[in-house]
A and B are shown apart, each in its own frame.
Chain A
Amino acid sequence: MSKKILFIFTILMIGSLLLAACAPAAEEPTAEEGILVCQITDTGGIDDKSFNATAWKGITDAEEALGIRGTFIESQEVADYERNINAFIEEGCDLIITVGFLIGDATAAAAEANPEQLFSIVDFAYDPSIPNVVGQVFETDEAAFLAGYASAAVTQTGKVGTFGGLPIPTVTIFMKGFVEGVNYYNEIKGTNVEVLGYNIEDGTGLFSMDFSDQQKGRELAISLMDEGADIILPVAGPVGLGAAAAIQERGNAYVLGVDSDWVLTSPEYSNITLTSVMKKMDATTFSVIESVIDGTFTGGVEVGTLENQGVDIAPWHELSNLISAELQAEIDQLREDIIAGRIVLQ
């Protein structure tokens, strides 16, 4: 008896679910409030505290300032990229933003198959350029140079350290600029501050080979501190937070944030964050969105530099007492020199 009732109940439930699913789509929110901007993350996910999250911040900023609508899909594997792009084309996105070098192929293929659809890709530039894609690339070494110079001035032990996630150009450019900044300080001041973790001659260095495991960041930071480094630049997304935790426990060293201003994104480490090397993908993403609204969108490359504020170092916040007025003036001068091309980075 009870089995029968349950059977009927089950059928009813399945039926109602199916009916609900088949029912004429409940009035899609067609209210056109601004353009639709859609982001496809790489396998790091939207909350990677790195380029996916920063690009998404550009979209949410534009939601507030420009009244656009933003949405995103997280990719779980390479095969998802093409499918997710197709899904967004279906949704009628006005601008599709893909994040990361590894989505480069899928973005190019989709852009060529859908010449009307506008795209922007973070950390990738096409050569030759595609008319409906804007590549966002960053001269991060310019900002890292300033951070390196400041670190060389602040260090007590005469040693600073760095490590990366993977030996790939978008990571090593931070490390290279950092080393160049330190070397420049040595040249000018006649000091001998040493950088552990990256060799600018042959490009070898210390890498976590991972962008998610904070434990690895902790271990690398501890070994760098054991070697005497008292300022560390971890270029490995969330792995760097593990390094920050280790540094905070040790208490006599500082960390340099990457990508975004860590004092704002990870305030728990604000007492040890000297500054951050900011790669403002939010700013470049925002300006690409603006260009779509203005109708000035043109395919090509958007390069983030010190000059256009696409890269920069963060304010000193709580640690501003470590930076003398003199050092601040020197750094301001360096910034001018780099923008004017008087200092040329390799």
Chain B
Amino acid sequence: MKREPQKNEKAGDVLLQEINEPHEDQTTHKRSVWNVVAIPLLAILTGLIIGAILIAATSTTVYAAFNESFGQGLVTAWNEVITAYQALFTGSIGDPARIISALRSGDERAIRSAFNPFLESLVQATPYIFAGLAVALGFRSGLFNIGVEGQLFIGAACATYVGYAITGLPTIIHMPLAFLAGALGGAVWGFIPGLLKATTGGHEVINTIMMNWIAFRLTEWLLSGPMNRPGAGGMPISPLIEESAQIPQFFQTPIRFHLGFFIALGIAWLVWWLLFKTKWGLNLRTVGANPRAAKYAGLNVAKNYIIGMALSGALAGMAGGVQILAVNRSMALGLSSGYGFDSIALALIGNNHPLGVILASILFGTLRNGATRMMVVSRIPIDIVDVLQAIILMFVAAPAIIRTIYRLRKPKHEEETVFVSGWGGGQS
């Protein structure tokens, strides 16, 4: 924001300056490492503390213990919370004791099981990375893409179709083809609201929400109609995709860790390079930062909106594609637990930067993965993780709260943040 063109006649100069600038000012970055890291870290800590209070407050055994005596109640509450968080940790990172004993025993299956929690967290994080990148790229281009969920569904449907309908291709062609089909499907679903915004001024927030509903019902119809698995009798499930279309998993059961995670990292790098190292990306960001200035600088704002939405949609489509091709192997009702919506929060936590998105995705994936074991061990509903995520997000989105609680000083200069210029933003 700080380099955004202020005066029209200087706009061209500013653009040139930015292009020629060798590196981002690193000194300020170094100085502000603590400032950048402190807020998310403290937000996570605060989230865990509030989560602990919730866990204790919703446990009947804790109440029973408090009935006996106050001290007993405190001890029980503490134990309850520790058991839960222990399960969260061992379920998402791994149990050190178990890893050691598995390595000692030398049993392959035991070793795989011992290392599975951490790798499974990365599996959980993969669709979040794609979806988070989709939202982040949208934000950078001044577009609030709430349609990631719908684009994800369309992408998944396209990837599924290419995955099962085309046969006889070698993996090296079929797998990328199915993946790109997913990206293309998402891109089309993003392109439409982009086009509507560019040509008619219809706001993308409204249009992408509507496109979501169309996508949900369309895929439901596809799954129980044209794409229905033979013999499923209308049960909304597609045929299994061909083996040649599957994104390979690296290990045997129960580890599901797959190539898609590295594809996600690669795509994240690509998005970073596009946004920050190319003229296209500069155009997108300039339009995102200030469409009026961009217009006077001679940029085609409408075109950039369309590109931004289509690219964002393509990333969302990849999220759906990777889930189908690497994990699910067929499409059925209940494809997504809301990646498209969680990713809005995730992009904000990651400050709309690809690296931030990756880190936030791994955090979300870890929490969700650990929650499973927490549910098994202490019967804590998985919803507690939604609460944790919400609290963390709230504190990250409103750093003032964290600063007040922990009495942090406000950084002297404003961090480069990205936010959407509200309703009507971008109309010029």
Chain A positions near chain B (C-beta within 8 angstroms):
2-3, 6, 10, 13-14, 17, 20-26, 38, 42-43, 71, 73-80, 82-84, 86-91, 101-102, 105, 110, 113-114, 166-169, 209
The answer to whether A83 and B86 have CB atoms under 8 Å apart is no
A-B contact pairs, 30 of them (CB 8 A): A3-B407, A10-B45, A17-B85, A24-B97, A26-B83, A42-B334, A71-B376, A73-B375, A73-B382, A76-B334, A76-B382, A77-B337, A79-B327, A80-B337, A83-B120, A83-B256, A86-B116, A86-B253, A87-B372, A88-B376, A101-B232, A101-B235, A101-B237, A105-B237, A105-B240, A105-B330, A113-B253, A167-B234, A169-B233, A169-B235
- Nearest-CB distance from A80 to chain B (Å)? 8
Q: Assuming A79-B323, A102-B332, is B86 touching A26 (CB within 8 A)? A: yes
Q: DSSP majority for the B interface?
A: helix
The answer to whether B86 and A2 have CB atoms under 8 Å apart is no
Q: Which residue of B lies closest to A14 (CB)?
A: B45
Indicate whether B191 reaches chain A with its CB closer than 8 angstroms. no
Q: Assuming A6-B407, A26-B86, A71-B379, is B253 touching A169 (CB within 8 A)? A: no
Q: How far is the CA of A84 from the CA of B376 in the complex (A)?
A: 10
Contact of B256 among A13, A43, A82 (CB under 8 A): A82
Indicate whether B95 reaches chain A with its CB closer than 8 angstroms. yes
Near A by CB (< 8 A), chain B positions 319-375 give 323, 327-337, 369, 372-373, 375
Q: How far is the CA of A281 from the CA of B237 in the complex (A)?
A: 23
- Nearest-CB distance from A123 to chain B (Å)? 10
Q: Which 7 A-B residue pairings sit nearest by Cβ, starting from the closest?
A: A76-B337, A21-B89, A43-B334, A86-B254, A77-B337, A169-B233, A113-B253
The answer to whether A87 and B373 have CB atoms under 8 Å apart is yes
Q: Which residue of B lies closest to A46 (CB)?
A: B381
Q: Which residue of A lies closest to B240 (CB)?
A: A105
Contact of A23 among B48, B86, B127, B330 (CB under 8 A): B86
The answer to whether A73 and B237 have CB atoms under 8 Å apart is no
Near A by CB (< 8 A), chain B positions 214-253 give 220, 224, 232-237, 240, 253
Indicate whether B113 reaches chain A with its CB closer than 8 angstroms. yes
- Nearest-CB distance from A223 to chain B (Å)? 20
Near A by CB (< 8 A), chain B positions 85-100 give 85-86, 88-91, 95-97
The answer to whether B376 and A87 have CB atoms under 8 Å apart is yes
Q: Assuming A20-B85, A21-B86, A166-B224, is B372 touching A78 (CB within 8 A)? A: no
Contact of A102 among B237, B336, B381 (CB under 8 A): B237
Known: A76-B334, A87-B91. 13 other contacts (CB 8 A): A3-B409, A6-B406, A10-B42, A20-B86, A26-B86, A78-B328, A83-B369, A90-B254, A101-B237, A105-B330, A110-B253, A166-B224, A169-B233
